[in-house]
Amino acid sequence: MKELSTKARALLESARLGEPSLAAEKTKVLEAVQAKILAGAVPSTAALSGVTAAARATTSKVALMLFWVLGAATVAVALTVQSPVIAPEPVIEAVEAPPVVEPVEVVIPPAPTPTPTPAPAPVGRPTPRKNKPVVVVAPAPAAPVAPKVDLCALTVELRALKQAQQQLIRAPDKSLAGLEDFARGCSTGPLLEERQATRALALCGLGRKDEGHAELKSLEARFPQSPSVARVRQTCR
Amino acid sequence: MLTASVPIDAVRADEVPRFEDVYTQNFEIVWRTLRRMGVPPSHLDDAAQDVFLAVHRKLGQFEGRSTVRTWVVGIAIRVAKDQRRFATTKGKYEQLDPSLPDGAPGPDLAAATSQALGLLEELVIGLNETHREIFVLFELEELTAPEISQALGINLNTVYSRLRLARGAFERALEQRELRP
């Protein structure tokens, strides 16, 4: 078969070098996916055609809000979240019964700050349904379709990372402390690459450049392809 | 980019991969595939969520007949097609602007690579859907022909024949683009 010309091949290679980092998108989408999984609303992909873009954007936002509110307010509860809060009208025909995470036990440690508050009703919506949005209990039923997902670890890791990133500029000491707190209980995790990069940036932000460079080296050794390596190196110069 | 410490495609056929590992190791390829298949920037977030919600829902049924990456890419291609079909029927999408691909390189990246990425995305978006999916998966994501055959559910010979046509279409588009002032 005829190969691509040298010119076309060179274009592909140059473009590859220009690929942007997707770290922010990776975290953001994971948060939204986890929120939807927690809420039990798992739309089928084939259902896209029945959903308007606006409704879907609202779904994401409300589900995310629910996720954070629950995260902040709940102390070691097993919860089952039903879908009413995030069900925009046009989506209903498309949403399957939530078979996958029904009910998944999620243990969320106490959040650092506020006292529990009820989830606010979505703005611009008529009265919410009478269904209770959060039901505590329920032993796991037999035969779930999908494997159990360790939502707890991921949820906590996400929160730790997000908080550390938010504090990076104004309070790198707090950012670092938060990351180290998390790492004491869980040295690995799906967001380890992002955590290491944030830790290196926090160390450099505190003027502890030697430690920052050591963290960078470790990041580079573990994730040689990581787009964060260049970013951290530039910041820690 | 494969970043997780556990190589997910090394799991035994009778093991179910963990969702977190699937996500971590396949997010980038899913995002790029969706973008290159023409999902507009404003819809990429939702489309990626749909892919991974589908992955989460179906993970228990994954039989290991293909690699996890191939399976996930197949889902991404289907979601991208659904999105485009929806766009076509509803006329809801904004006009794609190939000169501004999502996540376009910032000022810190070399102008040359930035221009190359913009040009590449322009040329790829100009291919028809059949050519584009083969070109993206083979030339850009470097899947093998058998992997593409599994991901798209098409015959291996069809993959090769479409790849040949896709390369030709891409080369012609590149030449025409260079002739433009």
Got the DSSP string for chain A?
-PPPPHHHHHHHHHHHHTPPP-HHHHHHHHHHHHHHHHHT--B-GGGGGG--HHHHHHHHHHHHHHHHHHHHH-SS--EEE-SGGG--GGGGGGBPP--TTTTPP---PPPSSPPP-PPPPPTT--SPPSS-SEEE--PPPS--SS----HHHHHHHHHHHHHHHHHTTT-HHHHHHHHHHHHHH-S--TTHHHHHHHHHHHHHHTT-HHHHHHHHHHHHHH-TT-THHHHHHHHT-
Chain B residues with CB under 8 Å of A60 CB are 45-46, 49
From the list B21, B61, B82, the residue facing A49 with the nearest CB is B82
pLDDT of chain B along its 181 residues, tens only? 333 334 555 445 556 788 988 999 999 999 999 998 988 888 899 999 999 999 998 888 887 778 899 999 999 999 998 887 766 665 544 444 444 444 444 444 446 667 778 888 889 989 999 999 999 999 998 899 999 999 999 999 999 999 999 999 999 999 888 777 6
CA gap B80, B68 in Å, rounded = 18
From the list B1, B60, B120, the residue facing A145 with the nearest CB is B60
* Contact between chains at A5 and B5 (C-beta distance less than 8 A): no
Determine contact, residues A43/A49, Cβ cutoff 8 Å.
no
Chain B residues with CB under 8 Å of A154 CB are 20
* Contact between chains at B49 and A60 (C-beta distance less than 8 A): yes
Which of the residue ranges A53-57, A73-77, A90-94, B31-35 has the most confident prediction, judged by mean pLDDT?
B31-35
Angle between helices A151-167 and A192-205 (to 10 degrees): 20
End-to-end alpha carbon distance in chain B: 36
Taking CA atoms, what residue in A is nearest to B140? A12
Residue B27 tokens, joined: 């997010």
Which of the residue ranges A27-31, A39-43, A169-173, B99-103 has the most confident prediction, judged by mean pLDDT?
A27-31
Taking CA atoms, what residue in B is nearest to A26? B27
ipTM: 0.75
Per-residue confidence (pLDDT) for residue B88, from 0 to 100: 61
From the list A2, A225, A227, the residue facing B164 with the nearest CB is A2
* Contact between chains at B57 and A29 (C-beta distance less than 8 A): no
Position B133, amino acid: E
Burial letters A93-106, b for 16+ CB under 10 A, else e: eebeebebbbbbeb
Residue with tokens 């739309």: A43
* Contact between chains at B116 and A223 (C-beta distance less than 8 A): no
0.80 cut: is pTM over it?
no
From the list A28, A44, A49, the residue facing B85 with the nearest CB is A49
* Contact between chains at A190 and B20 (C-beta distance less than 8 A): yes
Element counts in chain B: helices (H) and strands (E) = 7, 0
CA gap A97, A90 in Å, rounded = 16
Position B116, amino acid: A
From the list B24, B53, B113, the residue facing A190 with the nearest CB is B24
CA distances from B97 to A21, A51, B40 (A): 20, 24, 8
Q: Which of A7, A9, A11, A49 should be substituted to probe chain B, the one whose Cβ sees the most B Cβ atoms within 10 Å?
A: A11
CA distances from B72 to A166, A181, B67, B121 (A): 31, 34, 9, 22
Residue of B75, B127, B72, B74 whose CA lies nearest to B96 = B127
End-to-end alpha carbon distance in chain A: 48
Identify the H or E element spanning B89.
helix B68-90
